[in-house]
Chains A and B, each alone.
Chain A
Amino acid sequence: MFFASRTFCCRGIRTCQLRTDLLSRSIKHSASATMAFRHKNTRRIEGLDSNVWVEFTKVAADPSIVNLGQGLPDISPPSYVKEELAKAAAVDRLNQYTRGFGHPSLVKALSQVYERVCGRKIDPLTDILVTVGAYGSLFSTIQALIQEGDEVIIIEPFYDCYEPMVKMAGAKPVFIPLRCKNSGNSASSADWVLDPAELASKFNSKTKAIILNTPHNPIGKVFTQEELRVIADLCIKHDTLCISDEVYEWLVYKGNKHIKIATLPGMWERTVTIGSAGKTYSVTGWKLGWSIGPENLIKHLQVVHQNTLYTCPTPLQEALAQAFWIDYKRMDDPDCYFYSLSRELESKRDRMAQLLKEAGLKPVVPDGGYFMIVDVSKLNVDLSGVDEKQPYDYKFVKWMIASKKLSAIPLSAFCGPETKKQFEKYIRFCFIKKDSTLDAAEGILKNWNKQ
């Protein structure tokens, strides 16, 4: 321990050593450093330490495992996106701080793209905040607008971070499940719907916000105009905010249209819409996202941002801005990446569905997003012998990783406590994968019963 002090103590060595001796003696006499240690975590993070990803990304990290679990592409981002980053990083001033709430060229590009999509004026400086991924937007929104005493409605199954973020803000999550129309016999994400009366019953005077995710992770549901209207009506009636997670907004398949709830009457002023560069451009590792909404809401997100991380990386924002300009200019063109990626993924979706059917399973074919859920109970894998208190799907996925070398994510990770039982026979596959990965998955699924 004194190695360090001897090395650095160059002047006045005797006084240094004397002081250090005095200090260590005083420590021996006072309560020892470890005994008196009272420092545990704050209340706000009590019970929020476990995380499905930390658990499952570790398990699936083995390269021999075909990884259809965590939602990250193994396809390459478009080459112009990578090129723009190389160009940006070569400009000296782009390696230094930029504007805290969002790099000027990026917020400008975002305002142009979304003005076109939403059909309304969006001020790049006051109506937009750039964050560290959509995750950062969710956090900023919840920290800005949600506090102790509030209730927040979360639709199940849900992207797992919503619940701990609401709890960390001191608020109470109120769950409402999507239910299968055809009494459990689901072939499409459209089969999963909210019961309007049940939804209405969840709203009360404490309801500060509802979190909407469309296209939906994990089911892949694309909420229809009518379904959004039902939610909007309740928001307006109860003066509730809407946090709209639309990270998969471009990934909608034939016959479906992504509708922004913020464009419905009465909704712009009460909605924060969240987007993601990671999902838009297949660059999850860039961790850039954005919140778009009225100034009177966004300004509070900006306050959170300036007190949490202040600014996002400059070269990545510049590169993203340039990529957006390239695609903005061709938004009338089918080659625009927003549409071409969707087409590419639709064929992967169809292939994935086919593979699962051939293995004797009934996948829920998603209308959007890049995930597909499937009920595995038909496979009748007996895991009662597995001595773990975890839900069936957790045990199934771990068994599948170990014995079939294929990974997925258990659905109950996306459910509140009351609904876990309802979904514990489902697992989620990610299909934004290159052909060779899907080929490998095919090999495993075809041979499922032979092993």
Chain B
Amino acid sequence: FLSLPLQAKMSRPVQARRLDGIDKNIWVEFVKLATTYSKVNLGQGFPDFPAPAFLQEALRGALGGENHMLHQYTRAFGHPPLVKVLAQFFEKLLGRELDPMTNVMVTVGAYQALFCCFQAFVDEGDEVIIIEPFFDCYEPMVKMAGGTPVFVPMRPKAPKDGKLMSSADWQLDPAELASKFSAKTKAIVLNSPNNPLGKVFSRGELELIAELCVKHDVLCISDEVYEWLVYDGRQHIRIASLPGMWDRTVIIGSAGKTFSATGWKVGWTVGPDRLLQHLRTVHQNSVYHCATIAQEAVAQGFQRELMLFGKPDSYFVQLPRELQQKRDLLVQSLVAVGMKPIIPEGTYFLVADISEFKSDVPDVPNSDEPYDYRFAKWMIKNKGLAAIPLSAFYSEAHKGSYTNFIRFCFAKEEATLKAANDILQKWKQEKTS
């Protein structure tokens, strides 16, 4: 015989309410599909070329050295050599003095940095502005913190005659953006360079956002993981360097993207102590330490880059150069078959309009899946080419906004991009014959 309170307990779900609505995840599904079916994987964002030799050398050196204490806990908020060199680096970039102990915190990838920000600053009832399309984790993280995501879309302007669309053509409407700020707005998430579009926000656009942050006393969570991957002479501008912004911005970075080693999961936050102190509280109550040896190697990578800063041998000069070429290769392949790429100003992603190929995947009216999801899944299974539907980067309410786009990752060896080209060419031929 069960008591009433016990019956009530057993009939409740075992999991906590904070998990409501955040259990689905596009990557779980699409990574599985890619692993099963794809011959050429331009889906999930990671390089298929090696991490730079100097980074691997740094790890080898750390492993081969006398200091076996590199296999033990290091400082919780960041391995001293790493926070020191990050502080030095960002001092240069931001033009202000930084204390490695209080203005820098190391995290398990930029992903965990984002988590710490939402947990530290977003309470139940707080609103967080998210610009669409967005890296998909922002929405569930805001929800898990009890916050309300408020979405504002970038909208494409028609490109000039004869030109291909650029990520710069996708823009926020200033009045629309301003209308999203309310008394409940706690923070805005900025991602520049932007995943998935590749947009690099201009100074004017950043000033618009900054004005609103200052006016409404809102925090800015600035996801800048692709900070080094900007093309065509564009400049990555750090919003924290704009007037009034340092005090209210947390900058997030990633060794995975900076050094093409996504599997190392080393990220960081840079910001004022009065914000970072709260990130430290979350961190010390969730993961506490990050892996020592990975931090040691990343620190050495940064030390090398500090010495080579701005010089031709700098990885931060070479990598964007190489990636720009790869971008251009992919653009060519897509244009040749009739997919219309949106030329990204940054990141290693490219979004393309697949309208010309829609006949292969008939529309299913009243389907609960957006068209581009179905198209992308069909393409993986039938053509062996993996990409991600753009709807994955929109809120539930707006998934129907743009259903003719898919996102490709071009951080791939030339052989991979060639193989993708072959698949596309063959596909085109099959259509025309």
Contacts and interface: CB of A to CB of B under 8 A. Distances in A.
Interface of A: 1, 3-5, 7-10, 15-16, 19-20, 22-24, 26-27, 30-31, 33-34, 36-45, 48-49, 51, 53-54, 57, 70, 72-74, 76-77, 82, 85-86, 89-90, 92-100, 132-133, 135-136, 139, 143-147, 161, 164-165, 168-169, 204-205, 238-239, 241, 278, 282-287, 296-297, 300, 303-304, 306-316
A38 B247 CA distance: 12
Given A22-B207, A49-B278, A313-B263, 20 more contacts: A16-B203, A23-B210, A31-B217, A34-B247, A45-B282, A82-B68, A85-B293, A90-B60, A95-B56, A132-B108, A205-B9, A285-B73, A286-B293, A287-B290, A303-B23, A307-B144, A308-B112, A308-B286, A310-B137, A312-B108
B263 A98 contact: yes
Contacts of B16: 143-147, 169, 300
Contacts of B244: 23-24, 27, 33
A320 B358 CA distance: 46
B281 A238 contact: no
B63 interface: yes
A161 B277 CA distance: 18
28 contacts: A4-B93, A5-B242, A9-B203, A19-B204, A20-B203, A22-B207, A30-B214, A33-B244, A33-B247, A37-B247, A42-B121, A53-B288, A86-B60, A96-B46, A97-B44, A97-B263, A144-B15, A205-B5, A285-B289, A285-B292, A287-B290, A300-B14, A307-B140, A309-B109, A310-B27, A313-B108, A313-B263, A313-B294
B431 interface: no
Interface SS of B by simple majority: helix
Nearest to B47: A96
Contacts of A77: 68, 71
B28 interface: yes
Interface stretch (B233-241, B321-329, B363-371, B392-400): B233-241
Nearest to B56: A89
B290 A99 contact: no
Contact of B50 (A92, A144, A311): A92
Contact of B19 (A4, A5, A296, A303): A303
Interface of B: 3, 5-6, 8-10, 14-19, 22-23, 25, 27-28, 31, 44, 46-51, 56, 59-60, 63-64, 68-76, 93-96, 108-109, 111-112, 115, 119-123, 137, 140-141, 144-145, 186, 203-204, 207, 210-211, 214-215, 217, 219, 233, 235, 237-238, 241-244, 247-248, 260-265, 275, 277-278, 280-282, 284-294
Contacts, number: 276
A208 to B, nearest CB: 8
**Which one of B50, B64, B244, B282 has the highest number of Cβ atoms from chain A below 10 Å of its Cβ?**
B244
Contact of A309 (B15, B111, B186, B241): B111
A42 B120 contact: yes
Contacts of B241: 1, 4-5, 8
A72 B72 CA distance: 7
Contacts of B23: 303
Contacts of A96: 46-48, 261-263
Contact of B73 (A4, A161, A238, A284): A284
Contacts of B217: 31, 36-39
Contacts of A98: 263
B113 to A, nearest CB: 9
A401 B369 CA distance: 64
Nearest to B238: A4
Nearest to A21: B243
B10 A239 contact: yes
A4 B95 contact: yes
A9 B94 CA distance: 14
> Which 3 pairs show the lowest CB-CB distances between chains A and B?
A314-B263, A205-B5, A285-B292
Contacts of B10: 239
Contacts of B95: 1, 3-4, 7
B71 A239 contact: no
A311 B235 contact: no
Contacts of B56: 89-90, 95
A70 B51 contact: no
B220 to A, nearest CB: 11
Contacts of A74: 69, 72
Contacts of A39: 121, 186, 217, 219, 248, 275
Nearest to B291: A287
Which of B9, B50, B109, B286: most chain A Cβ within 10 A? Answer: B286
Contacts of A15: 204
B297 to A, nearest CB: 9
A136 B287 contact: yes
Nearest to A164: B285
A98 B265 CA distance: 11
B243 A27 contact: yes
Contact of A239 (B9, B49, B96): B9
Contacts of B115: 307-309
A39 B186 CA distance: 8
A98 B145 CA distance: 26
Contacts of A26: 211, 214-215
Contacts of A205: 3, 5-6, 8-9
B291 A313 contact: yes
Given A37-B217, A43-B123, A309 B71 contact: no
Q: Which of A26, A42, A205 gathers the greatest number of chain B CB atoms within 10 Å?
A: A42
B262 A309 contact: no
A30 B262 CA distance: 42
A133 B74 contact: no
Contacts of A316: 291, 293-294
A313 B264 contact: yes
Nearest to B217: A36
A437 B93 CA distance: 44
Contact of B261 (A9, A30, A70, A95): A95
A433 to B, nearest CB: 12
A354 B204 CA distance: 71
B286 A139 contact: yes
Contacts of B96: 1
A300 B111 contact: no
Nearest to A131: B287
A284 B72 contact: yes
